[in-house]
């Protein structure tokens, strides 16, 4: 089984690269942001709760995210593995995820960190707002809040995995196919 985390700030290109790597290795793409948006579209109770955080650029509570991730993993018992895209986003999520993986007899292979500087991220998020009509990318103060949340709550997760010897840094600027090659090389 190949289990990877795609780590990086909003707009770093995690989703784009995760889709390509999933295709190459026949993995399940588990994007917590995509699952939450689907729940919002279906107007489920969880979707309505999540929307109140997402529209402000805040993180959705850890317990909601963890239950959701566990359910998706359990619904694919015969998979070749997963790419976790946009998860874990806090230290408590990372700690609980380690316990969840151990209980499910699964192991994490690598954490791919896509690195992009802040100015480039803001430009990409503004463009995405126009293309995908995402409310959380639609206004500069929400975009900035997403980046603040990343710096304060998510960036420390890098060190957590670096201490486990699992962090692989990949420069996320340039041509999508070139970045893809570097991502594939980084997988051990
Ligand atoms: P994304 O599509 O990954 O950028 O996620 C969009 C939004 O969904 C984020 O700004 C958060 O509000 C929420 N979200 C997605 N994944 C998580 C997570 N692992 N923990 C908390 N909130 C999340």
The pTM assigned to this predicted structure is 0.94
Atom of ligand 1 nearest to the CA of 90: 20
What rounded mean pLDDT belongs to the chain? 95
Ligand 1 site, CB within 6 A: 10, 32-33, 36, 53-54, 57-60, 65, 86-87, 89, 93, 136, 146
Confidence class of residue 132 from pLDDT cuts 50, 70 and 90? confident
Q: What is the DSSP letter of 59?
A: P
For ligand 1, pick from 54, 83, 135, 143 the residue to mutate: most ligand atoms within 8 Å of CB: 54
Active site residues per annotation: 14, 89, 128, 134, 146
Query: How large is the average pLDDT for residues 29-43?
Result: 97
Q: Superfamily for 2-187? A: P-loop containing nucleotide triphosphate hydrolases (3.40.50.300)
Q: Which of 60, 69, 75 is nearest to 96 (CA)?
A: 69
**Rounded to the nearest 5°, which phi and psi values hold at 112?**
-90, 115
Q: Which of 53, 97, 41 is nearest to 72 (CA)?
A: 97
One-character DSSP codes across 115-176: E--HHHHHHHHHHHHHHH--GGGSSHHHHHHHHHHIIIIITHHHHHHHHTT-EEEEE--S-H
For ligand 1, pick from 6, 30, 38, 59 the residue to mutate: most ligand atoms within 8 Å of CB: 59
Q: Which of 54, 16, 10 is nearest to 36 (CA)?
A: 54
| pLDDT for position 130 | 81
The pLDDT tens digits for 45-72 are 999 999 999 999 999 999 999 999 999 9
| pLDDT for position 129 | 79
The pLDDT tens digits for 10-31 are 999 999 999 999 999 999 999 9
The pLDDT tens digits for 133-171 are 777 777 888 988 999 999 999 999 999 999 999 999 999
Q: What is the DSSP letter of 11?
A: T
């Amino acid at each position: 089984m190949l289990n990877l985390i795609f780590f990086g700030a909003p707009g770093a290109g995690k989703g784009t690269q995760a889709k390509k790597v999933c295709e190459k290795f026949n993995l399940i793409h588990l994007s917590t942001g995509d699952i939450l948006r689907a729940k919002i579209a279906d107007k489920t109770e969880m979707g309505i709760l999540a929307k109140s955080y997402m529209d402000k650029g805040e993180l959705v509570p850890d317990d909601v995210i963890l239950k959701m991730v566990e359910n998706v993993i359990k619904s694919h018992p015969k998979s070749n593995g997963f790419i976790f895209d946009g998860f874990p986003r806090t230290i408590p999520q990372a700690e609980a995820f380690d316990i969840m993986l151990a209980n499910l007899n699964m192991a994490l292979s690598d954490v791919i960190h896509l690195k992009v500087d802040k100015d480039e991220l803001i430009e990409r998020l503004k463009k995405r707002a126009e293309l995908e009509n995402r409310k959380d990318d639609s206004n500069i103060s929400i975009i900035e809040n997403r980046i603040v949340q990343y710096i304060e709550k998510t960036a420390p997760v890098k060190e957590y995995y670096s201490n486990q010897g699992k962090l692989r840094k990949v420069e996320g600027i340039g041509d999508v196919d070139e970045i893809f090659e570097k991502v594939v090389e980084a997988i051990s």
